[in-house]
Structure 1
Amino acid sequence: MGFPDEPAHTIKAAAVVRGQVLVEEGTSFGHGVHVKVPDYIANLHGQGCYKFNRGQAADCAPLVYADDTYTNIGVTSAASYNPMYYWLVGLPTLIMSGAPAIYAMRLISALFCAVFFAAGFTALTELRRPQFAVLLAAIAMTPMVLFLGGGINPNSMEIAATMAAFSGFVVVLDNWRNTKLVIPALATVAASTVVLANARQISLVWLLCALVAGVCSFKLRRTLQVFADKRVLIAVGLTVPGTLLGLLWTWIASNGPANVGVAPDGIASPHPDAPLYRGFLIMLDRTYDFFPQYIGVMGWLDTPVPELVMLVWSALMMAALVAPFCIRPLRSWTGYWVSLAMLYVVPALLQTVLWRSMGFIWQGRYTLPLVVVLFITVGLGLRRLRFANKGMAVKAARIIFWLVGACHTLAFVYVLRRYVVGISELANWQTLFSSPDWQPPLGWFFLTVLYLGAAMVGMEVLFRYLYPGQTLVTVKLRGFQLARIVLRDRKVANDKARDKVPASSSLLP
């Protein structure tokens, strides 16, 4: 339960798969909605002994027993959320129990996100001159995005589906003359639209922002032409039932019994009589405070990633955000300007609506769908430049790729350290090996090696895609190099010998 609000979402998922979908009268008591779930799930709030205290290892949390399955009352503050995501991730609790069931729920959520991220990246490769767009989308996959993708929280699915919807949409616009070539991208947009309509109430706002940014990235005439295409109209028609169901749920949830949850101390401070414009201005002023959370403030906002990780991603993100100011004509960056404006204004507007009742509850992770869209628009605008894939450009890219892979792994092991031994003022890396207080399944060291391998495979695949004929790993074993030279020389000698044989010799037995 080390992810933000994970106990509430896990309890909600277990309740949904057991038929407790709607919030009924008499189930909300001011601190959340009461549902009937297995006892090991109902007691997950007890795992929070380490929340907001990064010096406390996770060994203080009670064990989650597989035989603790009798029905009990669980409390969730996510009862009004759309049940689609929860029904999917809650399925393992019907056939499993205890900690294995919870890990299975996390795996389903992670695979669900991975499908949409894969669809989004695949769609971007169908752009004309796609290298910059793919590269900027990869930069937007910060440690925070990957961290959220491993937990039980619809916020992660929201980020992945928004990325997929926007990527597929711009590919369709880019191939407006013949949409038959990009039917998979069109299907990605349709599937992502239905998912976003049935994720969180705010998810449709991110979808609308993504569509607006996509339209502004191309000429209006092209957009009108696309929406007159029969394939696009069919895809739109297929999304209508799912979208209407999502809107229906939003209406039911907003008109149902109260669904009250208590926000953590220090986050909520309601101002029932304050003017709305003041909340809007305060939120605008706090916009830059959320940037570290785009990169990585893990756990329950209690574990920032190491400064090296922050510096590397800050440099990459600033370079991307400044690039449009240096490339003319500026009017060709309309999609970027609109996305940047939405990153400032839309969260401020949404938070202002809730200011009087709940106070300032906004977190940087809520805005990550817009952040991903923003960086992809930078990649779209850079397509007018030639993507350098030779000489010094390759050498510099190789260094940056290695650095990013190392930072991803450092962030991963740092979060494990936070739960295995805690983050103390004094360096305690050695205690990870000598006396760990808590261990994840398979052990932290094996998981780190596995994560490093996965990160480097991903980096290698991306590097080869961007720089054909080049490899990220350039170290060659001397033995293999010598063997290749010997085989090459032997082939040359055989070719010379064959060329010296008279043509009539081919008739001899």
Structure 2
Amino acid sequence: MIFLGSQVGASGTELTGALACAAAALRLSREEQPPARVWWVAGVVMGVTALSRPMAPLWIVLAAALGVGRLSPRTAWHRLRGGGRPAAAAVAIVMLGLAGSVLWTQALSLRTPVLWGRLGHGLVIATETAAESARQTIGVFGWQSVPLPTALYGLWTLLAGGLFLAAFVVGRWRDRALLAGGLLVVVVLYELLAAAVFIQNGFGMQGRYILPALVMLPLLSVEVLADRLPARLSARAAVAAAGVIAVSGAGQFAAWLTNSHRYAVGPDGPLWFFLRHPAWSPPGGWAPWTALACVPMIAAFAAARAAHRDAVAATAPAVGPGSSPDPDSFQRDYISLRTWHMRPTRR
């Protein structure tokens, strides 16, 4: 997502919008009635996202389905009615964005023909290329010519899969059905988009085409964990979260380093390209840009250290008159899994 957002094109806007739409829908699905500003932000985010690419309305529908799935259709309807004018305005903004997207697509005749007779052949090819498309959803840069180190693909799969499985274990039956259904939707959408649209028309299926739906799953997983994680596991989860944060920061820097290395000295050039004489350098040379790329990694390490410190503080026995150290007495509120509008854990 970071790489695509740095390019001149609509993919970065589409991806960022899809993630923001899922975040807005999940925020609206929490137990408390959201304030007016949340409705306004959700409406603007979804309305703007609808205009990013021809397939963007599909991601808005998927994001809305996540929110409705977390609540139930009846509760979602009451939540919408209870939102009053801000909720009505948000719906109107989304409808305007969707209408604008459809009208623009029709006006430019951006309809891709589907050759139904070749659908079966396309499904076979889509299945054969699924592994490469999965790698691209993690990161293959350039013109699909700059892969990451193999270890990073395994590590990213482990992190995302671990979040998904943890949420599936602690979630309610509704959460599990939503997680499983979301994963199934991603797989089916990949097959259909690849077989019926991209492969048939000569574009070739790429991971970025399905990534807007895929990025919603980790966000849903974290929402379920923040809501359903038992209090007795909160401190351990915070320690694990510290590791996830630190590894993610290091992985992002490694990805930037891999892409930069390719254009500085080529795939077979020396690793420390910015210390020698690279064949290509950005304005100002590699040193300031490398230092700038280290800033997010350092911030991630600082966040990981803070999470670990909070976990240690939560498990430490109370000291003082009348205190009774009980390892199971701490509450999840001691660890800020969510920064505001926290809900009590349901056992």
* Partner Cα distance (2:199, 2:243) in 1: 49
Q: 1:278 to 1:218 in 2, by over 3 A?
A: farther
Structure 1 counterpart of 2:276, from 431, 434, 442: 434
Q: Does 1:152 align with 2:11?
A: no
Match of 2:100 in 1: 245
Offset, 1:160: 0.8
CA contact (8 A) 2:239 2:308 kept: no
> 3-state DSSP class of the match of 2:247?
helix
**Structure-1-length-normalised TM-score:** 0.55
Question: Which of 217, 228, 249 in structure 2 is aligned with 1:384?
Answer: 228
Q: Is residue 188 of structure 2 the alignment partner of residue 345 of structure 1?
A: yes
Confirm whether residue 443 of structure 1 aligns to residue 285 of structure 2: yes
Note if contact 2:241-2:304 (Cα within 8 Å) is conserved in structure 1.
Answer: no
Task: Determine if the alignment matches structure 1 residue 407 to structure 2 residue 244.
Answer: no
Q: Deviations over 1:273-317 (max 9, x none)?
A: 843233234424533432211211111110111223223212112
Q: Pick from 134, 139, 142: which aligns with 1:291?
A: 134
Is the deviation greater in 184-193 or in 294-303? Answer: 184-193
Corresponding letter in the other structure for 1:372: V
Which residue does 1:194 correspond to in 2? Answer: 47
1:179 alignment counterpart: 34
Aligned to 2:151: 308
How has the CA–CA distance of structure 1 residues 454 and 327 changed in structure 2, closer, same or farther, with 3 Å as cutoff?
closer
2:170 touches 2:228 (CA, 8 Å); kept in 1? no
- Name the residue aligned to 2:334: none
Say if 2:311 is the partner of 1:455: no
- CA distance change for structure 1 residues 211 and 151 in 2, over 3 Å: closer, same or farther? same
Distance 1:413 1:158 in 2: 25
Deviation at 1:357, TM superposition (A): 4.8
Is residue 365 from structure 1 mapped to residue 208 from structure 2 by the alignment? yes
Q: Over residues 41-62 of structure 1, what are the superposed CA-to-partner deviations in whole Å (9 max), with x where a residue is unaligned?
A: xxxxxxxxxxxxxxxxxxxxxx
The answer to whether the 8 A contact 2:29-2:76 is kept is yes
Distance 1:395 1:353 in 2: 45
Contact 1:148 1:155 (C-alpha < 8 Å) held by counterparts: yes
CA distance in structure 1 between the aligned counterparts of 2:131 and 2:75, rounded to whole angstroms: 35
Larger-gyration structure (1/2): 1
Does the aligned pair in 2 maintain the 1:165–1:188 contact within 8 Å? no
Q: 1:303 to 1:251 in 2, by over 3 A?
A: same
Distance 2:118 2:197 in 1: 12
* 2:133 is the counterpart of 1:277: no
Distance 1:189 1:336, change over 3 A: same
Q: Distance in 2 between matches of 1:328 and 1:335?
A: 10
Matched length:
308
The superposition leaves residues 197-222 of structure 1 with CA deviations (integer Å, 9 ceiling, x where unpaired) of 21110111111122122222222221
**CA 1:436/1:192 → structure 2, altered by over 3 Å: closer, same or farther?**
same
Residues 303-351 of structure 1, C-alpha deviations (whole Å, 9 max, x = no match): 1112232232121122123335544654432221221111111232223
Per the normalisation by structure 2, the TM-score is 0.78
Contact 1:287 1:344 in 2 (8 A): no
Aligned AA (2:302): E
From the superposition, tell whether residues 153 and 437 of structure 1 become closer, same or farther in structure 2 (CA, over 3 Å). Answer: same
In the TM superposition, residue 380 of structure 1 has moved relative to its aligned partner by 2.6
* 2:20 paired residue among 130, 141, 164: 164
Distance 1:296 1:174, change over 3 A: same
Distance 2:98 2:22 in 1: 17
Q: Please report the RMSD computed on the Cα atoms of aligned residues, expressed in angstroms.
A: 3.0
Residue aligned with 1:254, SS: coil
SS in 2 for 1:174: coil
Q: Using the TM superposition, give the Cα deviation of residue 247 of structure 1 relative to its aligned residue in structure 2, in angstroms.
A: 1.8
Deviation at 1:470, TM superposition (A): 7.1
Dislocated runs of 4+, deviation >6 Å: 270-273
* CA shift digits 1:23-55 (9 cap, x unpaired): xxxxxxxxxxxxxxxxxxxxxxxxxxxxxxxxx
CA 1:213/1:329 → structure 2, altered by over 3 Å: closer, same or farther?
closer
Work out whether residues 295 and 310 of structure 1, in 8 Å CA contact, stay in contact via their aligned partners in 2. yes
Unaligned runs of 5+ residues in structure 2 are 313-347
One-letter amino acid of the structure 1 residue matched with residue 103 of structure 2: L
Question: Which of 57, 65, 69 is the equivalent residue of 1:212?
Answer: 65
Shift of 1:461: 4.3
- State the shift of 1:442 in Å: 2.3
Note closer, same or farther for the CA distance 1:455–1:205 as it changes in structure 2 (3 Å cut): same
What is the alpha-carbon distance in structure 2 between the residues aligned to residue 315 and residue 298 of structure 1? 21
Unaligned runs of 5+ in 1: 1-144, 260-269, 472-509
